[in-house]
Structure formats: structure tokens, C-alpha cells
Structure 1
Amino acid sequence: MTAVPPAAPDADPIPPAEPGTGTGSIRVTDQPARRKGRWRRFLTTGSLDIQSKLLVMLLGVSVLAALVIGAVGYVNGRNALQTAALNQVTSLRESRITELKRSFNQFTQTVVSQSRNASVIGATKAFTSGWDDLQDTPVSASDRSKVDGWYRDTFVPQLDARSGGTANPEQFAPTQDPQAYLQAKYTAPFDDYDKAIKQDDAGDGSSWSAAHAEYQPYFRQIVEAQGYEDLALMDTNGNVVYSAYAGADLGTNVEDGPYRDSNLATGYKEALQLTSSDDIVVTDFARYVPSLNVPTLWVMSPVGEDGKIIGVMAVQVPVDLINQVMTGDQHWAKDGLGDTGESYLVGDDDLMRSYPRQLLEHPKQYERDVVSAGTAPATAKRELQVKGSVLLQQVNTTPVTRALQGKTGTVVADDYRGKETLAAYAPLEVDGLRWVVVAQMDTSEAFAPINELTRNIGLALVGIIVLVSLLSLLLAQVFVRPIRRLQTAVNRVSAGEIGVEVRAKQGDEIGDLGLAFNDMSRSLKVKQDLLDDQRRQNDALLRTMMPDEVAKRYKQGDQTIAADHQDVAVVYADIIGFDDFARDLSAEESLALVNDVWRSFDDAAQRHGVERVRSTRSGYLASCGLSVPRVDNVRRVVDFTADAQAVIDRFNAQNGASIGLRAGIDTGEVTSGLVGKSSLIYDMWGDAVSLAFRVQGIAPTPGVFATQRVVDKLGDRNDLEEAGLVETQGGPQRVWKFVRSAR
């Protein structure tokens, strides 16, 4: 039924004249009365008039659209901001890895070049010779007392203050005369290593001191220029024959001395196993007692001469080398890391290998945070005392665990302070060290833009909803339900649905429009049915010309359709003598007989899983394993040719003919696809196709011929006889003929 249009919004309809009033009088009703009647009708009948329904619909649709747009904008904006935060920590992680590898490479290459230096080689020989000379030099009681006093009054108190323990001076007492002698001359006189390195010659007249006077300025310059913590030379017996700072390890033996369990001893043993002075050994951080128990990393390289290892040079890497890279030289804000962004290293023992940012900037707050996160108070206090966290702060967080498993990625997880962070992690393999790089930022800072975006979108949605509500009040008076119904029908047709009709009848413009729409919809349905029928016919025709998968790609618009196949059995069959047989037949009769043969071949091919590729008046090309890979494709093709010979036998018997089948079989790689543009042909080509064609023509007589590759795949058979050779790119290949059993 056609809806009645509402009255104009600016005037009420004129009521009929009241009885007895002549021509009648005009009574105008006000808008509030109309609204009151509308709501009274809703309360009594449970329905609203068209205008009210449109108002509700417009409000609902508009508000929903605003919410959806706001939600989409929020999700997209949040994802974009979150991606930006992820990219920031990921970029920080990658830059730190690149810089750390570069720094290590420069450092290790410098050590290698120095170990090959003639001065280092000469120094190693001189100090080793001087050490050997000291084996016969007695140590005076005064010198021994001086060394004992240095350990008791200088070294051990400094060690206890740095490590927080209580060491026994006797455990470090020299066990060799050369050690005691050298420490009395170069170590005990000083209470500071920085003073000891400045002494060139103790003036004792020994050959070792002569070597020291010659090479100490050279090594001192290297140590100070490169920033080494120490540089030591060791002979092949494990003796530390030289130390730039003349520390407690001067003259010790790393194999049986007090520091035999140190990473210096471990690295020395590995360095001796190296066969070239171009190789290096890098030890992981470990506490080193001569350096007052400070975590120490060594880079070692063998010193060789004339292909023989004469010693090992060891360089103590400063922790600052790593911290400068991982902290960006403490320029976090300049690097765009805000207030909480940082990167740090962790070893495979879950202990830090660099200093965290908060420890350097806010040590007291750092202590409170790590203790609340589970770090022992004594450990946290120790980190503040030594102003470092290497081998102290444990980090067994999710990023570290995943990175130690060889994974790389990003995650939101709690860090060593118990703070939720956005972290990018990756394993780091550098010179044999197995570390983990973590770049992170507190989520409160990383996702701060997302919170601001949420607030802005919320305010925008409130404003949009208010504006939409006002506009809906105006638009609800314009639209009517029939137009809505017709619009819905049009939308359904535009979405692809056919046969859509609306309830309509003549009477007004909207009704006429509905009838016209129905006529159009019925016309579209008839045309769509015709198109569907034509499409089905086209599909059937395509399937007769090419495989279904190729036809599907062709319909999708692929311009070039070709595929390589690795293991395909190919057969090319040719009918011999058909022209002589059909000489007296008409063209239609001849073609009909050929088609009968090909249909029989197609039936046999279908039974054996063989696919016809193309056929001509006298040739039939087929394959097995092209569209559907088959393990026994060769056997299937051979069985197919046997059935094909039977087809020819039946044809001869039925038609009194004497035609024959000559077929060639090969297996290998082929290519299939559509050839041509205006006239498409599905074809197959390749070495296997060419060889199958050539093999079938090896003899003028009928028969089934196969290459050596086919025979090899068939295994032992007693129905084969040698038919000759065929030349291929790889050389001559033997051809075999299948011997048919007598019937």
C-alpha cells in the first residue's frame, strides 16, 4: 500500500466545516499539540509515525556511524602510534647492535694488528728471555718483605673495600722467584697502578729491566691512546712476563698460580690453541682479582714469529667501551629516548653486561625499584657503591629469555625494575660472546600519545553525536519510508542480488518509480540468466581445451600461463597407415573415424590417470604427473599405450584396416601452458616431449618405444628389446621397444 505523504511542516491541514456554521471556520492546531498526539499514539499503540521512526533511524545510524568511524580512527591511530613506538625501540636495538659490533671489530682488529707488530714480537722475546734469566736471580729478604707488605697494606685493603669481602694476603703471595723479584721492583713501590705504569726502569741492571726500559714507553702509549685497562704478555708456559700497569698479576702463572681460575687463564689456554696471529679470543666478563675484583673482559691474540707461537698478548677491555655504545654516551634525551628509553646488554647467565640508565641518572630511585622487583637489597646497595651493575644485576625477564632462545622481536613485559615496558630484544653473537641486546621504554611514556589520542577522539565523538542529533531532527521531516524501501532494493541489486522487487502500485510518483524498478529488476534477471547459461557453455568449452586449473587462471585474466613440472611421463603416439586406409573415404568419414580412435584413447587415458594434452589428425600427445603428481606415472603411461594398441587392434578388426600405433615414451622435466593470443592452444614442451616425439620415429614400424630413463623407472621387465640409440644433449641414449605378447 502506498504511504500517504505527511503534511507540510509549516502548516496544519484545514479541517472540514463544523455542522451549522455555513461555509465553515478555520481551526489551526499548534506544534506542541501534534507532538503530544504523537507520543499518545506511541503509548497506546506501541508505534511511532513515519517521521518519528525516521528520526530514530537517522539518529541510530548516524550515531553508530560516528562510533564506528571513531573506533576505526582510534584503532588505526593507536596502531600507528604503537607501530611508531615499536619502530623506535627496534631502531634503537638495531643501532646499538651495529655500533657494538663495529666497536668490537675495531678493537679486536687493533689488537690483532698490534700482536703482529715487530715491537710486540720483540718485546715478547725480550721479556721472556729476561724472565728466564731471573730464574737464577735470588730474591733478597728485603724484597720479599716489601712485596708481602704491599699485599698486606695496599692490595688486600683496596680489594676488600672494592669487593666488600675479607681476603687473606697469603693467598696472593708470589710462588716464583721471578715474580717476587719483579713485584718488588715494579709493583710494591707504588700504591696506585697509574703511578706504576709511568716507571720505565727500576735500575736493577737485569735484562728484564732493560727490556722494560726499551718497550714500556711504547706499551704505555698504546694503553693510554687506546684506553686499555691493562696489557699483558705471557710466554708459552703461562707466565705473565709483562704487565703494563705492573699489577698483582705480574709474574704469576695463569696455569697454576692464584688466578688459574680467572678468565685470563681460560682465554690464554684458548689462545695457545690458535694457529694464526690473525685469530683472537674474547672472554666474557668475569671478576678479576688483580683489578680489585672488577668485572673484566679480555681480548687475546697469539704472538708468532716464523710460523711459531712464542707467546700471547692480552688486552683488558674497558667497561666504558661497551657502556658508551649502549648508553649512547649517556645522551638518551638527545637520541629521542625521552625520560625512560634505554638499551642494555645481558649475558647468558642473566646478568647485566652494561649499566642501566636509571642507575646512572637516579641511583636512589633505581635501588628502590630493583629491590621492590626482587633484587636482593645487598646487591642493589653494592651496585650503588661501585656505580655499576655488570655481573650484579640479574635480568631474567621475558625479552631476555626469548633472546637467549635465539628469537628476535618486541614485547610488552615487566623489566628488571618491575616496570611495564615496551621492549625490543635480539640475541647478539660477537667474537664468540653470547649476549642479549634489549632496548626498552616504559609503556607509560611509549604509549602516552595513544592516551592523548583516546581523549581527543572521545571529545570529537561527543561533538559529532550532538551535531548529528540536530541534523537528524531536520532530515527526518524530508525522508519517507517508501523511498527508504526503494533505496534498500536498489542497494541489494547493486550488491549483486537479482530478482529484487518492491511492493508498489500506481497512484503517485513513488509508486510509479517502484513499478519501474520492478520492471528493471525483472529485465536484469532475464539478462543475468542468459549470461549464466552462456558462462556455463564457455566453461564447458574451456575444460575441453585445457585443464581446469589452467582454465581457472585464464578466466581470472592471467596473460601468461605456464608452469614447470619436474617428474612427468610423456607419450607421443602416431597412427601409421591411416592415410592409405582413408584414401577412398570422404573428409567427414575420415575425421569421424579419427575422432572415434581419439575418444577411445581418451577413455583409456582416463582409466590410467593419463591426461591428454593435444591431438591432431594423426598425433596424440599425453602425459601423466602433470596436473596431479604420481609416483607411478611411467607405469601408467606404459599401461595406457598397451590399451591404445588394443584400441587400434579393435579398429582394424571392425573396419578391415591395417593401421598401426607408433608411440614414444620419455620422462623428465616439461613445461605446460597456453600458447598464442587470439587463438589459444594448450600445449606442453620440453626435453621430455621432444625426446618422446623423436623416440616414436626411431623405427618405421609400429610399436611402443621408450627411453632408458623410462626403462630404469619400470624396473626389471622381460618384454623389452633394444631398438637403437637416439642422440640427446647429454649424449646418446638407448631406446627400447616393448614386445607385445602373442594373443
Structure 2
Amino acid sequence: MPETEPAARRARGRLRRGLLSRVSIKSKLIVMLLVSSIVSAAVVGLIGYESGRTSLRASVFDRLTQVRDSQSRQMQDKINDLRNSLIMYTRGSTTIDALGAFTAGFDQLATASINPAQQQQVADRYNQFAKNTEQKTGKRLDPLALLPDSNAQKYLQAYYSAPVGSANNAIDLDDARDGSAWTAANTRYNDFFREIVDRFGFIDALLLDGRGNVVYSADKGVDLGTNLLTGPYRENNLRGAYEQTMASNAVDFAAVTDFQRYQPAGDAPTAWMVAPVGVHGRVDGALALQFPITGLNRLMTVDKQWQSTGLGTTGETYLAGPDDLMRSDSRLFLQNAEQYKRDAVEAGTPPDVVDEAVRLGGTMLVQPVATDALHYAQRGQSGTLITSDYLGHQTLQAYAPVTLPNTDLHWSIIAKIDTSEAFAPESSFTRTLVLTSTALVFVVCIAAMLLAQLFVRPIRRLEAGAQRISRGDYAVSVPVESRDEIGDLTAAFNEMSRNLGIKEQLLAEQRKENDRLLLSLMPEQVVQRYREGEQTIAQDHQDVTVIFADIVGLDELSDELPSEESLAIFNELLRQFDATAEGLGVERVRTLRNGYLASCGLNVPRLDNVRRTVDFALGMQRIIDRFNGETGRRLDIRAGIDTGTVTSGLVGRSTIVYDMWGAAVNLAYQVQSGSPKPGIYVTADVYEIMRDSRHFARVGVITVDGAEEPIWRLSERQS
């Protein structure tokens, strides 16, 4: 039994070899080409798919993050600008004098009275206010609880608020012609505060005295004359901002509140900016500006220009507060309220909340957005993720906290877009890749059959020719293991293999020498294209850093020394430069009479090509310093560095030279040649990238195409 098993295996092996030996070389070539091509296509396709998919996803996330950051910066700038403007206004004499005048006029009205007709007009005004609020919000108000309870408030409501009713034109009423001191102050200062409200888009401007009384309102609404501390509207964040302002004792202080529904404004979402008013470090009162939702909404909804800002058909940005409620309106709500209702309810939002948003005409302070992205942002984190949004849609979301210095606001900003839209290019890419791979396999099948036919025909002819020239005895025998065309060809080649081997060895040595010579003149990629017969070889490169360096003092040294000795010194310096360049990944392009042109990121893309090039310039400087220390000579380096787009290729016909040219090369040369003193000079682009890690000094400007370009000199000189 042990002897029969090996015999059986040997028999099976002989059978397989016999079957394979009877398969024609044409069939073998077809199978080989098909298998290798299909495997190669599959591997390349998988690599391309993963690489393309990763790149596309990274691009989508980057674009969404840019939109988020842009919106956040715009919002911060707007609030900071308004806050700074408020501080400037409160520090001016006009606001200080106005507060004093309105406070004095308000105090004089403490004993004033109104007639029954005016009393009834005020009551009708508050009844209408309560009715309008109920229609808008569904909340039932008691007008009697809101009626003025002080003579001053009754008087101001009778002469300024009640006569105009709800026409919203009380801000234009400067003189009620009642002869009071308050009216005199209003006639003098109302235009000033009206200009602030109109210019910056505020709803109202309030002046508050040190007791919490609203002694002036530009809009002259139902809160005119009320007291923030004891009145019917005391449960509002305006009171907290007022108390914080009065306790600040700082003229450059400004409190900014979060949005909250403000009853005198028809329960509309309202934020406040409050700053102290006073002189000589004493706070006599405050100026409060009513910040509306409309301006913030216009900013966060990019004025409804979502597609032009890169948010497509489903993307949006919105703000959310620490209560997990929106601080801006939903895009879907603004575009299709019915679709918003359906999606929000299906996503888990209570129907009464959705109905309230529809009734109020917006989702601010109504729609909850307690998503994972918001919770991360509330913890101070920034990033991106794929998760469900408040409408139940699968979305890409970029989140971040909103930083507003010197405020108590704790908002978060979310930029999102549906995955179906965001990954549409990825799906298209996948379909294209699959179709292309399928077509490629089909083409390979046809090509394999044609190529196999072509391959076999020369082999037959070569076999006949080899038999005719194999009359000599070459003593080299190759075992013939098959009976197909290759076997016949091998038997013929046994006769001439020795001579061919010798010739092939000589040819191989010659090819290596040619390769070495070409590689010393140009990069490997260019050598390959040159071998393949390309006549015009040029390639554009993005994000390449170029250094143009000149050895200062080499001409004088050459005049002092024999030519052989000066050449040896120059070659030794070049050798050290090349070694330093190779260690940093910098590629030498060519050398000049006493100069050196190199680049980083030309043939091997590198993210840190600017840093590597600056380090290489410092390395050249150290080599020169070491040479000076060893020989007592006074050589130096004058180098210019720029980064940008260049073109490389072969120049010339009879004499081929590998060179590099372009704007970055020209600017590097102008920076180097335009600098009178030795040193390392960089352009503005290089300076912006390296300013945080290297010390530079601005040394002037150069003129490029009629425009002045600043240049910087590297201040540090490392030993």
C-alpha cells in the first residue's frame, strides 16, 4: 500500500503534464492574457474604487466644514460689530444726555393724569394687543394684568402708544404736542435712536434708568414706561441682562442675551444687547437694543441662496441653544411647510410642537434638534459625522460650538446635507467604474485572441530561422519538457543560446550604462517617457516649492585659485548639497555656474514641501559655514524660495536638457537676484506657511508684472 500511493501520484503528475504539453501555446497565451488582465483590472479597480470613494467623501466633508466655518465667522462678526457699535453709542454724549433728559421727563410725569377718553383708548389698545397675541400664539392674555399702573406709564401710553395702535409707526412720532419735558426730550433725541434702529435692523431701542424703568422706547410699544424689575414683563432675559449691566461698573461692557419670546413684541423670539450709560465710571442706566430673529435667520439661511453657497438642494445651516431648540429657521420649513410637518412628525417631533411652529411662522425656539452632532458641539467639540437629523433624514453633519467672547451665549452651529445628495458623485463614480471595468474585460478578451494569433505566428517563423542558423556547436542544452511550439522553439534556441547569451550580456551592460547616464540627467518618470519615443515631454505640477540659490564669493575664489582646484571645491560643495537635498526629499533640477536650482514636490508630491525646502536652504547655509570654518574662505549663500505651479520637461532637440520653468521659478529667481545681501529670502506665500515655525524679517518688495510683491528674509541662522 505505501508503495502504490507514490506510484499513483506520479502517474497523475505524468497525466497532468501530458495534458498540459498537448495544449497549444496559442491557447496558453489566451488564458494567460485573460487571467492576468482580469486580475490586474480587478486589483486596479478595487484600489481606484477605495481611493476615489475616500477622496469623494473627504471632499464632501471638507466642503460642509467650510460652509459651517464660514457661517460661524459671519455670525460672530455681525454680533461683534453690533456689540461694538452699541458700546460706542453708549459712550457718546448724545446717549448720556438723552438718558438724563428722558429720566427727568419720566419723573415729572409721576403726578400727571389723563382724561377718561384717553384712559379708554389705552384700555382698547391693550385689548387689541391681547387679541393679536392670542391669534398668533394661541396664548390667552389678561389685558387687565398688563394695563399701566403708574401715572407716567399711563401718560406715555395715552399720548404715544395708544394713538397709533398697532400700525407700527410710533417710532416716527417725535412730538405729541403735550408740552411735557418727556416730549421735549423725545423731539430732540428720537431721531438719533430711530437712526440706530433703522440702520442696524433692530426692532426697538430702550433707555432704562437706574430703577429699572423703561423711560424711553423708540417703538413706543406696550413696554414703554413699565418697570423691568416689578412690571408684568419681569420674567424675561432682558431683566437679567439689565441687572448684569448695572452691576458691571464698566463703560465698555455689553451684555448679549439668548433668544427668548418677548411678550411686548407679540411673543416673537427676541435677543437683547444691553450696555451701561453713565459718566466718570458711574452707571446711571442702560441702553437696550432689541435684536430680531430676521437678521440672524437671513444670515443662517444665506438669504435662501443655499445652492449657490454649496449646500445643494437639501443642505442647510442652523443654530441651536443649550435647550436643544433651534435658534434659526429650518430650510425645509421655509421651502415646503407641509413636507416639514410630515417629516418632523415621522422623525418623532410631537405634532403640537410642529403645529406651533406653523402657527408662529418659524421653527426658532420650537423645533427640538437633540442630535448626536449637537451634543458633541455642546461639549465643545468640532467635527463631522453621518447621522439622522431632526427630520429623520440620513445626513452628513459638520458641527462646532459658536465662540462669542464676552457673552453668556452657548450656541452650536450645524451644517448638514442629505447623504443621498452628498454621495451622489460617489454612486456615479461606482457605476462608471463598474461599466468601465466590464468594457475593459470584454476588450481584453477580444485582444487576447487577436494577440495570441499574432504571437504564435512569429514564433513559428523564429523556429524555422533558428534551425537554419543553428549549424554551429554551442554546447548549451536546454531540456525540452513540452511538445508544443515552445518546445520546438527551445530545441532550436539550444544551438545558439551561448552566443546570444554573450551578446545579451554585452547589450545589458550597455543598457545599464545608458540608463545611468539618463537618470543622472532627468527623473526616472521622464526617462521612461523618453525611452518610449515621446518627442515633447512637459508636465504641469501643482504645489511645488522652488529654491534658486547662488554661492556668493565663488567667482572671487575662482580668480584666486587654479581652475582644477576651484572646480574641485565647487564639485565638493555640490556633492554635499545633493546629499542634503536627498535626505530632505528635495530634487535637484540643474546647476548653474555658481548656482543651484532645486524643487520639492515636483515628482514626489509632499504636503510639507515648503518646510523641507526652507530646511534645505538652512542646510546649504550650514555647509557653506562649515567650508568657511575649515578653509578660512568667505563664501555665503543668497537663496530665493517661492511655492506654486511650475512646468518641467525636456528642452532642446540635438542636446536634450531637463529643466523647470514657471511663475514660481521666475519669482524665486527674482527674489534671489533682487536681494543685495546674502541670506535666505522667501515670498509672501512661503512666509504665510512658515511664519509660525521660523523667524522672518520683511526686507522690501520686488516688482512682478507691474505689481509689488513683499519679500522676507529668514532671520535665524542655524549652526
Bin for the TM-score computed over the shorter chain: 0.5 to 0.7
**3-state SS in 2 of match to 1:277:** coil
1:452 aligns with 2:436: no
Q: How far does the alpha carbon of each residue in 1:338-388 deviate from its partner, in whole angstroms, 9 at most, with x for none?
A: 212221111121111111222112222122111111112222222223321
Alpha-carbon deviation of 1:511? Answer: 10
- C-alpha change, 1:159 and 1:51, in structure 2 (3 Å) is same
Q: Does 1:440 align with 2:426?
A: no
Paired position in structure 1 for 2:173 = 199
Q: Which has the larger radius of gyration?
A: 1
CA contact (8 A) 2:326 2:368 kept: yes
Secondary structure at 2:261's aligned position in 1? strand
Specify the SS of the correspondent of 1:305.
Answer: coil
* Structure 1 residue identity aligned to 2:434: G
Determine which of 469, 473, 479 is the counterpart of 2:445. Answer: 469
Structure 1 residues 510 and 172: CA distance shift in structure 2, 3 A: farther
**Structure 2: any 5+ residue segments left out of the alignment?**
1-14, 460-476, 481-489, 506-575, 584-624, 631-719
Match of 2:387 in 1: 413
Q: What secondary structure is seen at the aligned counterpart in 1 of 2:368?
A: coil
Aligned-partner residue type, residue 146 of structure 1: Q
Question: Deviation of residue 144 (structure 1)?
Answer: 4.0
User: Is 1:324 equivalent to 2:308 in the alignment?
Assistant: no
**2:156 is the alignment partner of 1:156:** no
- What CA RMSD, in Å, does the superposition of the two structures yield over aligned residues? 3.8
The residue correspondences of 1:557-706 to structure 2 (distance < 5 A) are none
User: Do the aligned residues in 2 keep the contact of 1:193 with 1:247 (CA within 8 Å)?
Assistant: no
Matched, 1:234 2:218: no
Identity percentage of aligned residues: 38
Q: Which residue of 2 aligns with 1:68?
A: 43
Secondary structure in 1 matching 2:228: coil
Whole-angstrom distance in 2 between the partners of 1:439 and 1:81: 18
Match in the other structure for 2:365: 391
Structure 2 counterparts to residues 43-54 of structure 1, below 5 A: 51-54=26-29
Which residue of 319, 329, 353 corresponds with 1:355?
329
How high is the TM-score relative to the length of structure 2? 0.61
**Residue 282 (1) aligns with residue 266 (2):** no
Give 3-state SS (helix, strand or coil) of 2:207's partner: strand
Amino acid at match of 2:270: T
Q: In 1, distance between residues paired with 2:478 and 2:73?
A: 72
Please list the CA deviations of residues 435-470 of structure 1 after superposition, one character each: whole Å capped at 9, or x if unmatched. Answer: 111122212111111111111111111111011112
Gaps of 5+ in 1: 1-40, 484-501, 521-553, 562-674, 681-743
2:94 maps to 1:110:
no
Letter in 2 for 1:361: Q
Map residues 213-232 of structure 1 onto 2, 5 A cutoff: 213-232=187-206
- Alpha-carbon separation, structure 2, partners of 1:227 and 1:448: 40
Q: Secondary structure at the match of 2:159?
A: helix
Residue 168 (structure 1) shift: 1.5
CA–CA separation in structure 1 for the residues paired with 2:248 and 2:138: 38
The alignment partner of 1:265 has SS state of helix
Task: String of CA shifts for 1:403-457, please: whole Å, max 9, x gaps.
Answer: 1111111222211111112222111112422111112221211111111111111
Q: Give 2:141's aligned amino acid.
A: A
Answer yes or no: is the 8 Å Cα contact 1:426–1:436 preserved in 2.
yes
Distance 1:330 1:145 in 2: 45
Q: 1:120 aligns with which of 88, 95, 102?
A: 95
Other structure's SS at 2:278 match: strand
Say yes or no: does 1:509 pair with 2:493. yes
1:100 aligns with 2:75: yes
Give me the whole-angstrom Cα distance separating, in 2, the residues matched to 1:508 and 1:261.
106
Residue number in structure 2 paired with 1:181? 155
Tell me the CA shift for residue 127 of structure 1: 0.9
Compared with structure 1, are the counterparts of its residues 157 and 56 closer, same or farther at alpha carbon in structure 2 (3 Å cutoff)? same
The residue correspondences of 1:304-383 to structure 2 (distance < 5 A) are: 304-383=278-357
1:392 Cα deviation (Å)?
Answer: 0.7
CA separation of 1:133 and 1:331: change in aligned 2, threshold 3 A: same
- Return the alpha-carbon distance in structure 1 between the equivalents of residues 143 and 154 of structure 2: 14
Aligned pairs, number: 481
1:64-113 Cα offsets, whole Å, 9 max, x none, are: 11112222222222233223222221221121112112211221122112
Instruction: Assess if the C-alpha contact under 8 Å between 1:232 and 1:240 holds in 2.
Output: yes
Report if the CA contact (8 A) 1:193-1:246 is conserved.
Answer: no
User: Per-residue displacement from partner, 1:293-347 (whole Å, max 9, x unpaired)?
Assistant: 1110101111111221111000011212112211222122233432122211111
- Report the Cα distance in structure 1 between the residues aligned to 2:176 and 2:216, rounded to whole angstroms: 14
- Retained in 1: the 8 A contact 2:114–2:158? no
The answer on 1:133 being equivalent to 2:108 is yes
What is the CA–CA distance in structure 1 between the aligned matches of 2:582 and 2:447, rounded to whole Å? Answer: 55
Relative to structure 1, is the Cα distance of residues 504 and 422 closer, same or farther in structure 2, using a 3 angstrom cutoff?
farther
Q: Please say if residues 288 and 295 of structure 1, whose CA atoms lie closer than 8 Å, have aligned partners that are also in contact.
A: yes
Contact 1:504 1:511 in 2 (8 A): no
Shift of 1:267: 0.8
For residue 314 of structure 2, give the secondary structure of its aligned residue in structure 1: coil
2:404 aligned residue (411, 430, 448): 430
8 Å Cα contact 2:301-2:317 kept in structure 1: yes
Name the CA distance, whole Å, in 2 between partners of 1:345 and 1:303: 31
CA shift digits 1:489-543 (9 cap, x unpaired): xxxxxxxxxxxxx9969965379869979x99xxxxxxxxxxxxxxxxxxxxxxx
Which residue does the alignment assign to 1:263? Answer: 237
Deviation for aligned residue 1:53: 4.4
Amino acid at match of 2:264: P
Using the TM superposition, give the Cα deviation of residue 159 of structure 1 relative to its aligned residue in structure 2, in angstroms: 1.1
SS in 2 for 1:301: strand
Task: For 1:69 and 1:256, locate their aligned partners in 2 and report how far apart those are by CA, in whole Å.
Answer: 76
Task: Name the CA distance, whole Å, in 2 between partners of 1:511 and 1:127.
Answer: 119
Q: Indicate conservation of the 8 Å contact 2:317/2:414, yes or no.
A: yes
Question: Which residue is 2:65 aligned to?
Answer: 90
| SS of structure 2 residue aligned to 1:255 | coil
Partners of 1:168 and 1:504 lie apart in 2 by 112
Write the letter of the residue equivalent to 2:325: L
Aligned CA distance change for structure 1 residues 49 and 313 (closer, same or farther; 3 Å): same
